[in-house]
Amino acid sequence: MPFVTGADAVPELSDAPLHPALAQLQADQWAAGKRPPQAIGHEAARAGMLATALAAPAGDDLPRVEDLAAPGPEGDIPVRVYSPDDPRATILYLHGGGWVIGGLDEFDRVARRLARVARARVVSVDYRRAPEHVYPAAHDDAQAALDWVRTTCADLPIVVAGDSAGGNLAAYLALEARDAGEPLAGQVLAYPVTDHDPSRASHLQFAKGTYRLTAAAMAWFWDRYVPDVARRTEPRVAPLRARDLGGLAPAIVVVAGHDPLRDEVLAYARALAEAGTPVSVRAYPEMEHAFLSSIGVVEDASRVYEEIAADLDVLLGG
């Protein structure tokens, strides 16, 4: 989809069954006794996610990968920098995991694929997680990481990117960058959290979700990161509620059909377009939440990187 603006620019997502490979993977996970994070607690959920990541095939090979640190509000923030030959941009990447789970190793394959296909230097951020560090700790770390990128990687255009909770952080950074008069080249929002409204149709339709995300798990993530319910509608963590969504960096929005977050993702894309922010929506009706991590499982998990790269071609001039 080309970048568009204006009312009615973002269509509805067509219905489609869950991709057979993902349906089989889900069945295998349940048969193996996989339990959701709210049933086992954040420490066990983190350990399980890390074990799965470390058991997966190695990610794409790159000329240089460095573990560094960016100064943060409460100490150094670990970052991992992935550098292909001749990068054309720097992408600040913020991983998913409900602000609670996930980290550099868990999303290493995602960052490597993004760096290789998008031909960009990718800076992956190990921001502080809940429940040890509640809102707005992850947002503060994301901003500190962007400040560090601006001082150390100023040689290239800067794009912010993230998936799920990381997409929420990236959307926040785009708003802050506009308000600070420090423009970004783009924002990549893969199935981002954009609002706290569990009454949306997709939350109800996909309440049981897939093993990647259920409505109950999403509620549990909110409880861990933003325990003060009154703050869950602040635009910082619910960007759909921002007063002004115009004048932001062009947005590449990835939406999955089988995702409790589907409707808030589409609502945010529409709100951006209606406010005059250019939007390219990449829709995958057969996919589930977090499918960027399904590299090697389904073709769409590879195609999405190609489509993101194609949109970046438009924004960065090829």
**What is the homologous superfamily of the domain 20-316 according to CATH?**
Alpha/Beta hydrolase fold, catalytic domain (3.40.50.1820)
Q: What digits encode the pLDDT tens for the residues 234-266?
A: 999 999 999 999 999 999 999 999 999 999 999
Give the catalytic positions in this structure: 164, 259, 289
In the numeric block, which tokens belong to residue 85?
Answer: 């030959």
Q: What digits encode the pLDDT tens for the residues 87-114?
A: 999 999 999 999 999 999 999 999 999 9
Domain boundaries, the chain: 20-316
Q: Cβ atoms within 10 A of the Cβ of 174, count?
A: 26
pTM of the full structure: 0.97
List phi, psi (to 5°) of 272: -60, -50
Higher pLDDT, 111 or 27: 111
Selection from 99, 163, 169 nearest residue 129 by Cα: 99
Contacts of 245 (CB under 8 A, 6+ apart): 175, 239, 271, 272, 274, 275, 277
pLDDT of 1 reads 59
Q: What digits encode the pLDDT tens for the residues 99-158?
A: 999 999 999 999 999 999 999 999 999 999 999 999 999 999 999 999 999 999 889 999
In the numeric block, which tokens belong to residue 295?
Answer: 């590299």
